[in-house]
Amino acid sequence: MLKFLVDMFFPPLCHNCREFIPNAGRVHVCEKCLTTSRPIQSPMCSCCGIPFATDEGISHLCGNCIAKHPPFDAACGAYLYEGAVKELIHRFKYDGRVQCRRPLALLLLERLSGVVADFSPDLIIPVPLHKKRLRQRGFNQAILIGEVLAKEWRVPFERRLLQRIRWTEPQVNLAASERMANVKGAFALREPKLASGKRIVLVDDVLTTGSTVAECSNVLKKAGALAVIAVTVARVAEN
Ligand SMILES: [Zn+2]
Ligand SMILES: [Zn+2]
């Protein structure tokens, strides 16, 4: 009731366009902005989560995942990396607007909580940054988003278990074929036994080719993780 009155007299601003939002829910991104980012829905690849070009039919494995099954069990993006979701991620990561973490985490929560509940995870792990990148940016976006998710899902959050031990070039600057080699051997676990026998959710802001989460999953599976899925706020539409 109090929140209703506060929203009526002081309506919240949209995190993206800064317009007032009457009847705002929890996310605080207005309808108009949200329509610029398409939610990812079936049919899509049941492993890497790439959306198929058609609206017809059911989800199944894509050609790439049939040819070589990734080390993760599934990768799920909430929205395509476009429009307001892309702008919010840019503001968050590159302009240091850390308050964007909440709407981004909530957008992920709204779409992927069901998948995560069905998966029934033991641990949530953020994709780590190299300490040089951490110094440049000042924060790890995957940790900030993951903290909100872990609290809502009531799942333990292990922010320091997985580490990035080698500097890698940003994946966006590389051809798809070079990305797996770029991240090979870039991750390690501080205490491998903590991953053994666990069902793990990896968290990141954006999934591009999936090479980064694939390499993280490799490390976790080698340490005996039972199952690994990756959840991201956004996903690019092509591998
Ligand atoms: Zn807006
Ligand atoms: Zn696939």
**Tens-place pLDDT, residues 151-160:** 999 999 999 9
Distance 73 CA to ligand 2 centre (A): 10
Query: What was the pLDDT predicted at 176?
Result: 79
pLDDT at 85: 97
Q: What is the Cα–Cα distance from 159 to 174, expressed in whole angstroms?
A: 27
Return the ligand number nearest the Cα of 31: 1
> For 77-88, what is each residue's pLDDT tens digit?
999 999 999 999
* Ligand that lies nearest to the alpha carbon of residue 20, given by its number in the listed order: 1
From the CA of 68, how far away is ligand 2's center (Å)? 9
Quote the ligand 2 centre to 35 CA distance (angstroms): 26
Which ligand places an atom closest to the C-alpha of 65?
2
**pLDDT at residue 25, rounded to an integer:** 81
What is the pLDDT, as a whole number, of residue 6?
A: 62
Q: Which residues of the chain have pLDDT under 50?
A: none
Which residue intervals of the chain bear CATH 3.40.50?
A: 40-235
Q: How far does the centroid of ligand 1 lie from the alpha carbon of residue 21, in Å?
A: 8
Measure the CA dihedral 170/171/177/183, to 10°: 80
Neighbours of 118 (CB within 10 A): 8
Contacts of 193 by beta carbon, 8 Å cutoff, 6+ apart: 223
The per-residue pLDDT for 32 is 92
Question: What pLDDT is stored for residue 130 in this prediction?
Answer: 95
pLDDT of residue 54: 85
The pLDDT, as a whole number, for residue 12 is 87
Q: 36 near 82, Cβ under 8 Å?
A: yes
Residue 26: CB atoms within 10 A of its CB come to 10
pLDDT of residue 131: 95
Q: What is the pLDDT of residue 209?
A: 83
Looking at residue 169, its pLDDT comes to 84
Distance 83 CA to ligand 1 centre (A): 11
The CATH number of 40-235 is 3.40.50
Closest ligand relative to 14 C-alpha: 1
Q: How far is the CA of 16 from the centre of ligand 1 (A)?
A: 5
